[in-house]
Structure 1
Amino acid sequence: MTANEDTRTGAVTAASVALAPVVRERWIDTAKGIAIVLVVLYHATMYLGLAGVDVPGARANPMLETFRMPLFFFMSGVLGARAVALGYRALFHRRLALLVYLYAVWVALQQVFLALLPPTSLEPEPSPLWSFITLAVIPNENLWFLYALPLFFTIAWLTRSWPALVPLALTAVVSVLFSSGILETDTAWDKMGRYLFFFLLALRIGGTVRRLAPSIRWWHAAVLAVFYLGLTGLTFATGIRGVPLVLFVLSLLAVAVGVALAVIMSRMPFFDVVRHLGTRTLPIYVVHAFPLLAVGALIVATGVSVPTPVAMTLPVVLCALAIAIALGVHRLLRDVPGVFTLPRFLTPGRSAARRETAGPTTLAD
Structure 2
Amino acid sequence: MSSATSRRTSTGPAPIEKTREPWIDTARGIAIVLVVLFHAVMYLGEAGIAGPWTYASTPLDTFRMPLFFFMSGLLAPSALRLGYRDLFRRRILALLYLYVLWSTIQTTYGILMPPISDPADPESWWSVLTIFISPHPNLWFIYALPIYLTIAWLVRRAPVAVQLGGAAAVSAVFGTGALSILGVPWDKTGRYLFFFLLAVHIAPLVRRLAPRARVVHVVALFAVYACVVAILVFTPVRHVPFVLIASGLVAVTAGIALSVVVSRVGWLSVFERLGSRTLPVYLVHTFPMIAVAGVLLQSGQQLPQPVLLALPPALTVASLAIALLANRLLGRFPGIFSFPIPAWTRKAP
Q: TM-score, normalised by structure 1?
A: 0.87
Q: Does 1:209 align with 2:201?
A: no
- Segments of 5+ residues of structure 1 without an aligned counterpart are 1-17, 353-365
The residue correspondences of 1:160-309 to structure 2 (distance < 5 A) are 160-184=156-180, 185-309=182-306
AA in 2 matched with 1:309:
P
Measured after TM superposition, the shift of residue 125 of structure 1 is 5.9
Q: Counterpart of 1:314?
A: 311
Structure 1 segments, 4+ long, off by >3 Å, are 18-21, 122-126
Q: Does 1:112 align with 2:108?
A: yes
Measured after TM superposition, the shift of residue 328 of structure 1 is 0.3
Measured after TM superposition, the shift of residue 207 of structure 1 is 1.0
In 1, the alpha carbon distance for the partners of 2:225 and 2:337 equals 36
Render the CA deviation track for 1:180-226: whole Å, top value 9, x for unaligned.
21232223110011001100000000111001112222211211110
AA in 2 matched with 1:222:
V
Say what the alpha-carbon RMSD is for the aligned residues.
Answer: 1.9
CA contact (8 A) 1:54 1:308 kept: no
Q: Secondary structure at the match of 1:67?
A: helix
The number of residues matched between the two structures is 333
CA contact (8 A) 2:58 2:233 kept: no
In 2, the alpha carbon distance for the partners of 1:217 and 1:283 equals 31
Greater alpha carbon shift after TM alignment, 277-286 vs 212-221: 212-221
Task: Give the counterpart of 2:65 among 64, 69, 75.
Answer: 69
Q: Counterpart of 1:36?
A: 32
In 2, the alpha carbon distance for the partners of 1:56 and 1:340 equals 35
In 2, the alpha carbon distance for the partners of 1:81 and 1:230 equals 33
- Segments of 5+ residues of structure 2 without an aligned counterpart are 1-13
Shift in alpha-carbon separation, 1:21–1:288, aligned structure 2, 3 A? closer
In 2, the alpha carbon distance for the partners of 1:76 and 1:142 equals 18
Shift in alpha-carbon separation, 1:314–1:71, aligned structure 2, 3 A? same
Measured after TM superposition, the shift of residue 45 of structure 1 is 0.3
Task: Give the counterpart of 1:336 among 317, 333, 336.
Answer: 333
Measured after TM superposition, the shift of residue 120 of structure 1 is 3.0
Q: Counterpart of 2:3?
A: none
| Identity level (%) | 48
Q: TM-score, normalised by structure 2?
A: 0.91
Structure possessing the higher relative contact order (Cα contacts under 8 Å, 6 or more residues apart) = 2
Q: Does 1:94 align with 2:90?
A: yes
In 2, the alpha carbon distance for the partners of 1:57 and 1:118 equals 24
Render the CA deviation track for 1:304-333: whole Å, top value 9, x for unaligned.
222111010100000000000000001000
Render the CA deviation track for 1:149-207: whole Å, top value 9, x for unaligned.
00100001111111111111011011111112123222311001100110000000011
Measured after TM superposition, the shift of residue 269 of structure 1 is 0.9
